[in-house]
Structure 1
Amino acid sequence: MPRTPKGEVAIANKEGWIQLRWRHHGKRYYLSLGLRYDPINVEVAKRRASEIRLDMLSNNFDATLGKYRTDPSQQPQIITAVDLFERFIEWKAKRVQARTLEKYYGLVTWLREYFGDGAVGSEDTADDFLQWLMENLEPSTVFERLGLLKAAWDWGIEQELVTANPWSELTIRKSPKQKPRAFSRDEVKRIIQGFRDSPYYCHYADYVQFKFATGCRTGEVNGLRWRHLNEDCTVVWLGEAYSHGEFKDTKTKKPREVKLSASLAEMLRSRMSAGVEGDDLVFPAPEGGPMDAKNFSARGWAKVLAAAGIEYRSAYHTRHTFVSHALASGMNPVEVAAITGHNVKTLYENYAGLIKSHPETPNLF
């Protein structure tokens, strides 16, 4: 949808009905006139648009939009904070994975506790809520939740549930966050060996080796099936993940193929039994079925690190460790991103200090 020029009021056809759209003082406004989109009604809409434009120029703009509605019965009903956000979740649920919605549902709980059946009446009220939230959550978490609130109210404006976004001008200063420290090469060897030597957790040794050696996301490794590998286990297709009790697409929804190192391919071939089926998991849980990431981290991972005298970092640091060492060795960032499934821009932003390769002009002529 093209952006309406500043100070102008656009007349749009929304499913056969006239809708006016404009921006004023950095905020977006939408107004349905209750008129079908036809030549006569468009002329009526032009007069209404002209009235709004003049009011903005003369500082007489009615931000409630009541002045510009065709019929007093069109005055919007006040919608509660919880109701608006729950409707936003219903709309969002058709567009994102179930796991992503968890933080949305969590925010509903906070909104219900603070606002009850009330609405977010003003920017001051919205700011008071954020300050209260800061007393209960980390600044970085509140910063993320504010982004959800801004998106929800922008959607609410477009759906004509509200006329303004009280969150749009609010900001949260995030506390500086220390970047995670990658495991050293020596620590990686000790961790893998620690699993191999453990009478309780040796089942996970190959799983841990694969995670360190590929930088794959945990869900991608947990969802890996034998049919995702070629015959000699030298190439792996990564397009399915297992997380929160279900198989689904990978996080980016972009499948990728990765050529594996000789040592990794050999390890995988040694795991392949005679009766293995294509749909069988490469790294199943000890009792069968998909691996439980939380159970693995809380039990095997934590205990093996402790036994090896290695500072605890989450199992997800296997991914960070792979990227860090690959870049530090001079590997091309684009190739690293192709292996791990990172967005190249994100890789540069998060690991700029480790990138040693520099673009070089080729000898073309």
Structure 2
Amino acid sequence: MNGNVTIVRKSGSSRLYISYQFNGKAVVKSTGLLDTKANRKNLQTKILEYSLALLARRDPLATAQKLSYYLDKVLENAKNRGKSSSTQATYTSGAKKALKILGDYPIADYTTSQIESMIDEMVIEQKKSKRTISTYLAPLSLAFDEAIKHKEVGVDRNPVKLATRPIREKETKMKPFTLDEVMSMVHVASGEFRKFLILAFFTGIRHGEVLGLQRGDLDIENNIINVNKQYNITFDQEDARLKTHKHKAAYSSKVPSIIWGLLGELPMDLNDHVVDRTNIKKSKRDWIREEWEKALFEAGIKAEGRTPYSTRHTFVSVALSTKVNPLLVTNNTGHTDMKMIEKAYGTLDLQKENFEDLSVMIQEQILASNIGKLAT
């Protein structure tokens, strides 16, 4: 005989249990929920659902998988579908954060209010930014989608998608550097960071791509850099290929010829990295940040909210201030289309001319600066 679903609590435990008869046997199973007034109320609403399952000769908690089960599926899918190492690491971090705050209980037991409490904790107690919170919630939301897809008992909607999130602050447009400021920063920089700045400011490629460049990627004769790999700055590891969800898997960036002279001696081995990382003992993110702040200070330039990412922003701004066709700028910076360029810089003139205008402008600025002699 099946039936008699009741809520119970075991002696010595702070969790709520479900007691019922199934196939002539008394069954007592943990719900994973703490014994609180709110949890008892929520669990009471499921009694009818459990009773109907018993009438259908089905154990109502037989398929009650925990949150960790579906988070593992999300991580497995990210790996099998070829997501970049940075995405996989981000999902792993988000999964750990969710389990730490929410606990690991049957996934059907989580409510929208619990997700909102998690968000509040990250905002109020942990001072997480709105962007970071969205990053942490991504694998959690995918876990509930997986549960719905696999028809997990009691999961018919995604509480993460229903939860109220903090309103994202309106992003302000980043102020680019002038070419004169760029020259000043390059002048005071030294060693590998000088190479890093030259490549970042005068090519517009991403920082991880700069650190991933090998000597064989430089086509000096044709003034081209072939970008096909990256170093993951966030997680300090080499990526075999570029991320693909925001930009091209590989692309060629046309560069001003004068920068080759500024880079100085390049490695002979085609497999050696252009920016040598072997003696950088600290994390590459910290190295970039500390050297960046040092260069700003020594050059006497106010940051005014400009971060190392401003190198890419500056390149695009300088390019669009000349006669460079936005389509070429889009390709040169590895975007799949012009949406990001349009979002950051507004209406674009597709009738502009070619890259040589930018090359001439940069060359004139370099030659007029106090480092110009190094490029000749």
Question: Pick from 292, 303, 307: which aligns with 1:314?
Answer: 307
Question: Pick from 140, 160, 169: which aligns with 1:149?
Answer: 140
Distance in 2 (CA, whole Å) between partners of 1:246 and 1:262 is: 28
1:333 lines up with 2:322 in the alignment:
no
Q: Could you tell me which residue of structure 2 aligns to residue 81 of structure 1?
A: 67
Distance in 1 (CA, whole Å) between partners of 2:51 and 2:315 is: 55
Distance in 2 (CA, whole Å) between partners of 1:97 and 1:65 is: 45
1:343 lines up with 2:336 in the alignment:
yes
Alpha-carbon contact 1:330-1:357 (below 8 Å) kept? no
1:187-206 maps to which residues of 2 (within 5 A)? Answer: 187-195=181-189, 201-206=190-195
TM-score, L = length of structure 1 = 0.68
Distance in 2 (CA, whole Å) between partners of 1:171 and 1:331 is: 43
**Higher RCO (CA < 8 A, seq sep 6+):** 2
1:213 Cα shift?
Answer: 0.5
Distance in 2 (CA, whole Å) between partners of 1:144 and 1:286 is: 31
Q: Could you tell me which residue of structure 2 aligns to residue 114 of structure 1?
A: 101
Q: How many pairs align?
A: 289
Distance in 1 (CA, whole Å) between partners of 2:314 and 2:282 is: 21
CA 235–310 in structure 1, closer or farther in 2 if over 3 Å, else same: same
1:248 lines up with 2:234 in the alignment:
no
Distance in 2 (CA, whole Å) between partners of 1:240 and 1:266 is: 24
Q: Match of 1:99, SS?
A: helix
Distance in 1 (CA, whole Å) between partners of 2:278 and 2:116 is: 50
Distance in 2 (CA, whole Å) between partners of 1:261 and 1:358 is: 21
Alpha-carbon contact 1:85-1:152 (below 8 Å) kept? yes
1:224 Cα shift?
Answer: 1.1
1:100-249 maps to which residues of 2 (within 5 A)? Answer: 100-119=87-106, 120-135=109-124, 136=126, 137-161=128-152, 163-164=155-156, 165-172=158-165, 173-195=167-189, 201-230=190-219, 232=221, 234-243=223-232, 244-249=236-241
Q: Match of 1:175, SS?
A: coil
1:66 Cα shift?
Answer: 6.1
Read off the aligned partner of 1:218 and give its amino acid letter.
H
Alpha-carbon contact 2:224-2:252 (below 8 Å) kept? yes
1:278 Cα shift?
Answer: 1.4
Read off the aligned partner of 1:98 and give its amino acid letter.
S
Alpha-carbon contact 2:98-2:140 (below 8 Å) kept? no
Alpha-carbon contact 1:232-1:265 (below 8 Å) kept? no
Read off the aligned partner of 1:260 and give its amino acid letter.
V
TM-score, L = length of structure 2 = 0.66
1:277 lines up with 2:269 in the alignment:
yes
Q: Could you tell me which residue of structure 1 aligns to residue 77 of structure 2?
A: 91
Distance in 2 (CA, whole Å) between partners of 1:329 and 1:64 is: 69
Distance in 1 (CA, whole Å) between partners of 2:192 and 2:313 is: 23
1:292-307 maps to which residues of 2 (within 5 A)? Answer: 293-307=284-298
Distance in 2 (CA, whole Å) between partners of 1:287 and 1:131 is: 42
Q: Match of 1:262, SS?
A: coil
Q: Match of 2:252, SS?
A: strand
Q: What is the root-mean-square deviation in Å for CA atoms of aligned residues?
A: 3.3
**1:94-136 deviation line (CA, Å, top 9, x unaligned):** 3322222333233233322332233443333333333333323
Unaligned runs of 5+ in 2: 1-47, 353-376
Read off the aligned partner of 1:84 and give its amino acid letter.
Y
